[in-house]
Amino acid sequence: MTEKKAFITGITGQDGAYLSQLLLNEGYEVHGLMRRSASAHVATNRLDWLGITRDVHLHDGNLTDLSALIRTLQELQPTEIYNLAAQSFVKSSWQQPLLTGSVTGMGAANVLEAVRIVCPEARYYQASSSEMYGLIQEPVQSETTPFYPRSPYAAAKLYAHWMTVNYRESFGMHASSGILFNHESPLRGPEFVTRKVTDGVARIKLGLESELRLGNIDAKRDWGHARDYVRAMWLMLQQDEPDDYVVATGRTTTVRDMCRIAFEHVGLTPDAHLVIDPELFRPAEVDVLLGDASKAKDRLGWQAEITLEDMIAEMVDADLARLRQ
């Protein structure tokens, strides 16, 4: 039996796939929770893309089903648990606020309870989010900046975040929360703005589409690469003491400029193709996010390595390759 055994909820998502790859490289036995789908072959497409589907162990379950979580943890007795599963798309959270609360909020409480009941000595990671800062209370957000959530998603994440802090303080659990700013990759869901842009630019370049419809392009985000950010998650669980950490690049960029970077990568400009669609604006917007990851740098020795330009180029190239296939 290997000593290092990880259990990842959300293993089929962007971060779950990159984290699995990292943990396999570190010699872990990697297990993940996968919700049943009528199209199971689609559910593993990110793990397939990284070529690691056969290297991980997938377990049927759902974040809303505490019994499945308890039985799975009893069977596995993992040493590290990464709770990455969530209804993770902010815009959908206004359309499905109750589901978002059940999965993104209460789902984390279910995992914490399962850990507390079955394996309280295991280390726990909670995927918290910069969206919790919402209507920002300080121009640069750190671990001490007050939260002000601006969507049902952010409100659910805030509940999960404080439950993590409370389980640490109440029960002495090794529970840490990573307050991650937006992070992207070729495995990002196509509904998120970076991937929508890189896929759109690739389609325009190949003559498959002529326009790209976006909402609020004045919004600013601190965008990093998922490959960098999953390393921070792992580092948090290697510390003697659990804690909360901001993970960010320290640079913020408008959607407009990110879009320009993507078009320029293929020798085009947005002007002829970009259409602003009022339907794509949100009921409440998070105008700007900018993180200060000094604590992660000092304590974890972590910093972002991949630039926005390199990441967008990688994403556009991956989308071009996908479309050409």
What residues line the site for ligand GDP (CB under 6 A)?
A: 90-91, 131, 182, 191-193, 196, 214-217, 219, 221, 255, 280, 282, 285-286
Which residue, judged by CB position, is nearest to ligand NDP in the bound state?
A: 13
- Nearest distance, CB of residue 260 and ligand GDP, angstroms: 14
Q: Is 159 annotated as a binding residue?
A: no
- Nearest distance, CB of residue 1 and ligand NDP, angstroms: 26
Which residue, judged by CB position, is nearest to ligand GDP in the bound state?
A: 219
Q: Which does residue 261 bind out of ligand NDP, ligand GDP, none, counting CB within 5 to 8 angstroms by kind?
A: none
Of 164 and 252, which CB lies nearer to ligand GDP in the complex structure? Answer: 252
Which residue matches tokens 């998650």?
A: 233
Binding residues (CB under 6 A) for ligand NDP: these are 9-10, 12-16, 33, 35, 37, 43, 62-64, 84-88, 103, 127, 129, 180, 182-183, 189
- Letter for the amino acid at 117? I
- Nearest distance, CB of residue 139 and ligand GDP, angstroms: 17
Q: Which does residue 43 bind out of ligand NDP, ligand GDP, none, counting CB within 5 to 8 angstroms by kind?
A: ligand NDP
- Nearest distance, CB of residue 189 and ligand GDP, angstroms: 9
- Nearest distance, CB of residue 254 and ligand GDP, angstroms: 9
- Residue 292, token pair as written in the block: 């200060």
| Annotated binding-site residue numbers for NADP(+) | 124
| Annotated binding-site residue numbers | 124
